[in-house]
Structure 1
């Protein structure tokens, strides 16, 4: 009969996510994880594998939660462009929030681990692909609903917005970031408005 784990695996995953998100991969030691998760080293390895495997688990957990949030921006009836605008505004709010100074875990992972770590690169690319696809689908729906002009290119707009949103995340880690982030978001919304059907 196998022993029942004496700790909450979900809570331990959340604690690992917070540690890696705040400190990064290299700066987070196994000792930090043991202390932060409140479990022994043997239990850590038996449950999660290596530090690298736990990092991938934490990163995927963060992405799954983020995907739920941005899909909600595009869900439901009504103008599709409104959903895209809500997403941009939510990014701004999160970046300018004081707790947001640790940045986006995905962007942090990209800056620290790419291109040297192909496994992390695949996870990051899948995250970006999912966001770009959601944007493209929303913009295609906007075009089908005559919210944007016939000449607008949903694929090009989605790629542009993906780059802008991720760039805003990077800017958000700077010391004097608020004005830049707001100005960038304002310009992105202006691009959407320029594509709007008149």
Structure 2
């Protein structure tokens, strides 16, 4: 996963993968079928990890706004400094492969749809808790947040300072809440 994340699908060679996995060519092909099969498994792992982190941040047993704040603050951290420059495997993959790879497109679409739904659920809980600003519709707000955090992942590659991201997130968060 790290090799694909660092170099992209097309920028990753078979020797890179053999070195990273410590597998022989035959073992790699037996275990994963081919480079594409290994890539899909790597992408699945990355997505599973990202959704598990999101579930932890948006834990339905805690206050919804606290969970949303934790989620957004996590993205600020992941889009700042060296982490920000590395970017996001999902975003990089979307840019590199979605137009040409149906299996990748399905995974990326499922990830964004799942993320949007989980954000919308948290926003609906915030509304039920009386903490969402009047007129804020959870699904629309979730789509805005999805675009914000994924946009942060792209722009974060330019090395923007963490305080800029935090100020941006705070301003949007303040618009959504009472």
TM over 0.5: yes
1:45-64 equivalences in 2 (<5 Å): 45-64=29-48
Report the alpha carbon displacement of residue 194 of structure 1 after superposing the two structures with TM: 2.4
CA change 1:94–1:139 in 2 (3 A) is same
Question: Is 1:189 paired with 2:170?
Answer: yes
Unaligned runs of 5+ in 1: 1-16
By relative contact order (CA 8 Å, sep 6+), the higher-ranking structure is 2
2: CA distance, partners of 1:50 / 1:154: 42
- Given that 1:164 and 1:184 are in contact with CA atoms closer than 8 Å, whether structure 2 keeps it comes out as no
Aligned twin of 1:20:
4
**Number of equivalences:** 178
* Partner deviation per Cα, 1:61-96 (whole Å, 9 max, x = no partner): 011011111111111534311211111111111221
1: CA distance, partners of 2:43 / 2:175: 36
2: CA distance, partners of 1:108 / 1:80: 30
2: CA distance, partners of 1:92 / 1:149: 23
Question: Is 1:145 paired with 2:129?
Answer: yes
Larger radius of gyration: 1
- 1:129 alignment partner, SS class: helix
RMSD: 1.6
Unaligned runs of 5+ in 2: none
- 2:131 alignment partner, SS class: coil
TM-score (norm 1): 0.83
Aligned twin of 1:157:
141
1: CA distance, partners of 2:84 / 2:169: 21
CA change 1:150–1:135 in 2 (3 A) is same
